[in-house]
Structure 1
């Protein structure tokens, strides 16, 4: 076992939580995450709302997709993204609209706010459970989770959007955030959630070797359902976006490498089949994740976008990655470098921690190289780098939990660094003023109303004027005929109407 501070070991052995203390602990957890959900709802629902606006936003709402890769010839490895995008439309049209009485545009705003808030809250709760396993102290675990929330909101400089909404609004325009939600944010959050679960299993094997992956109280049917559901979730996570799937698959690859080396060191020489068998279910899951990712990459390279983006400019990729790593405030890098030094010190003091700490450092290095390769191709945008930035942030919080586990007296200086490094001096994010959102919402609502009026008058075609100040008004492909099809798909209009988007006349 790990040699822990005597006070922690003694208190863990001689004290067991009373029923009253356990009840207070659950109440505190419930209150904390209820408040956190409120914060996320205010952020995604009021401060930075999402609405359908550009062509991709409207087109993919009515493209339901399948579970089979290859059906989308442009990017054949996207499965989760298409399902998530259409799922938001279904949830909006058939749940939020009837319950709220709002029109489609406003209902979509609150649908996205709810889904993003719950998804982000889920990642925070899993991080809390991981931190609680590491620290064995609720307050320390909540502090580690709060640090991730602070980093997600405040670690980026004012010229970039927060990590929880990594939009590149100056490049793509305010109205692109619905596609961003389905194609980038949700896949990122799913892969981060699975990553956190995997880390929890690994730390449980180190800190609590007797803990089971699935409790023995589960019967065989329940265990089969959990394993089956986990397999489907892993499949969707890897067939989402390459930049998102890389988060989990690269960590699984590193974990598989370390597990294989440990078996070889333990048994000196093993035949390939014996080695594979010795890795067990854990190794099978790691290999499955890496295999699914490689299959998804193969599909992506042989798709339309993969062929279009066949060239690589690694010089540009390196400079772009460095630019976006610099998007963190200096205070975050002070925290991260300090934590790195402390965990390296912990690795030297505690032999059992060396493997997992080395795996984290190697994983971040491989992840950085992978993201450099992604942005070296085409489509380099801020949200493409968001997976890397979130991975760095969540690693920092896991290391913070480790630090508080073995050096709990550092809670005060750690709190000082976390809070004041990001909030002083505080700058608001100036890339998306609220009046721009209100303007785009007014346009989207007016377009829908114009289509409904055309249906009422019996018109077969409509011309919708696009303001010339919109950055993509000269890109005709950004306003697809799918606008009319999507409205009919969700019952906003009852028949197909031909629509043409044109710039307003001078």
Structure 2
């Protein structure tokens, strides 16, 4: 491969990273705001399942979020002098990195099905667009599949899902490759461990692939299936630990009917133009002049992929029925739900468009139409088009100002040598004052502990939380 090609690919990858970074740092910044965000910014746990813990196997997010937060505090904050802003920059970089890796893996997978780089590139861009447009319902307050409801939830739901999707794309592409290096296998073992021990919702992405591989034979022979058995074993361990975990003990009912109703309502609320764009893509296989036997042979991979959607859907319904039917309506849960159906469509389309078919004007006309249908909902874009990534949907800049005010009050108190501080925070119309809850204070306050771990204060400081309506006026919180 020439240096020119390598350079072009590097520029494309870097451009994708920068676009994602700009979105998550400027357009819709991920700002730590609520008590859970503060708690997990400084959280510490061992990277093994913990029997009886609140979430015994939620390892990946509970290691990733605090460590990238600490990295931001020790590397970016000394440069910028902006503590919350440093977190925003770091979180945007992490999201951009994971999404860029996903795009690269999808592109490489599509290339493996069809050697035409133009079609693979267009379909990769279309894949990303669909994730930003499928849930659009109006000209404001929209959510998107690569989004979440809080900074912590990005690490607990969205990022693990993106990582597991990238792993599956790699596995499908390399499933018959017997020359995989030892290093690659070790990396896969590690990624599989953290992918399953992340969160039950995104973990099913990996396990569904493994189940289909074992039952229907993506790969051949037990040796090739060893990794799939490994993933299934990890998942069974995870289920056992979670059943006896602290959080599961709080769920005593199962709302199966309500969950199915909620799921149906949400699926039927998908943007019709975007659904149409997927149907438009299915026109492409009809343009192929291959005989029926060849077409049926090429359909096999798409069918295997679609089969994986069955355990994913069933599992999500069961988990949400136990934890709360409302979960099934979350964008970061639908990210998991749509992965295999969407991938099946893209696989079917791509595999039919071999290189000798790629120059057809009809093919690019259909691709252009699918792209146009995804761009139409974005024509009404404005500053309120997407919902802010916090549970009360207030302006991210306000969230940032509240966070900086909390930091300044605590740091100033410690500089004065105080062992206790009255921390004034906005008052919210909830029983526990969520998103900044009353129990966040005390000698072991989540705020002071995180700031201590991040090196902003030297000693712990007890916090007396004061719900102050003057802070609401100061920050313009109604």
What TM-score do you get using the length of structure 1 for normalisation?
0.81
| Map of 2:143 onto structure 1 | 161
Provide the secondary structure at the position in 1 that maps to 2:45: coil
Q: 1:422 aligns with which of 348, 371, 374?
A: 374
Is residue 243–residue 371 contact of structure 1 (8 Å, CA) maintained in 2?
yes
Q: Distance in 2 between matches of 1:178 and 1:150?
A: 22
Residue 432 of structure 1 and its aligned partner are, at CA, apart by: 2.6
What TM-score do you get using the length of structure 2 for normalisation?
0.85
RMSD over aligned CA atoms reads 2.7
| Map of 2:193 onto structure 1 | 235
Bigger mean CA deviation after superposition, 78-87 or 420-429: 420-429
**Is 1:371 aligned to 2:316, yes or no?**
yes
Bigger mean CA deviation after superposition, 134-143 or 28-37: 28-37
Question: Which runs of 5 or more structure 1 residues have no equivalent in the other structure?
Answer: 1-18, 168-176, 206-210, 215-222, 263-277
| Map of 1:353 onto structure 2 | 298
Q: 1:86 aligns with which of 55, 60, 66?
A: 66
Is residue 414–residue 461 contact of structure 2 (8 Å, CA) maintained in 1?
yes
Q: Distance in 1 between matches of 2:104 and 2:71?
A: 24
| Map of 1:218 onto structure 2 | none
1:284-338 per-residue CA deviation (whole Å, 9 max, x = no partner) reads: 1111111211211121111122222242211111122223323532122223345
Residue 445 of structure 1 and its aligned partner are, at CA, apart by: 0.2
Q: Distance in 1 between matches of 2:89 and 2:439?
A: 24
Bigger mean CA deviation after superposition, 330-339 or 492-501: 330-339
Q: Summarize the Cα distance change of 1:470–1:490 in structure 2 as closer, same or farther, 3 Å threshold.
A: farther
Is residue 88–residue 111 contact of structure 1 (8 Å, CA) maintained in 2?
yes
Q: Distance in 2 between matches of 1:485 and 1:339?
A: 52
1:346-396 per-residue CA deviation (whole Å, 9 max, x = no partner) reads: 886434334322212221132222211122122433133332134444444
Q: Distance in 2 between matches of 1:353 and 1:399?
A: 8
**Is 1:336 aligned to 2:278, yes or no?**
yes
**Is 1:255 aligned to 2:216, yes or no?**
no
Q: Summarize the Cα distance change of 1:449–1:58 in structure 2 as closer, same or farther, 3 Å threshold.
A: same
Write the mapping of 1:58-457 to structure 2, written as runs, cut at 5 A. Answer: 58-70=38-50, 73-98=53-78, 100-158=79-137, 159-167=141-149, 177-202=150-175, 205=176, 212-214=178-180, 223-259=181-217, 279-339=221-281, 349-379=294-324, 380-381=326-327, 382=330, 383-405=332-354, 408=358, 409=360, 410-426=362-378, 427-428=380-381, 429-432=385-388, 436-457=395-416
Is residue 72–residue 78 contact of structure 1 (8 Å, CA) maintained in 2?
no
- Aligned residue pair count: 445
Q: Distance in 1 between matches of 2:46 and 2:244?
A: 18
Provide the secondary structure at the position in 2 that maps to 1:500: strand
Bigger mean CA deviation after superposition, 380-389 or 452-461: 380-389
| Map of 1:460 onto structure 2 | 419
Provide the secondary structure at the position in 2 that maps to 1:67: coil
Q: Summarize the Cα distance change of 1:28–1:139 in structure 2 as closer, same or farther, 3 Å threshold.
A: farther
Is residue 54–residue 479 contact of structure 1 (8 Å, CA) maintained in 2?
no
Bigger mean CA deviation after superposition, 113-122 or 462-471: 462-471
Q: Distance in 2 between matches of 1:328 and 1:62?
A: 37
Is residue 258–residue 355 contact of structure 1 (8 Å, CA) maintained in 2?
no
Q: Summarize the Cα distance change of 1:23–1:137 in structure 2 as closer, same or farther, 3 Å threshold.
A: farther
Residue 78 of structure 1 and its aligned partner are, at CA, apart by: 0.7
1:178-231 per-residue CA deviation (whole Å, 9 max, x = no partner) reads: 2012111221111011111112124xx4xxxxx5442xxxxxxxx333322221
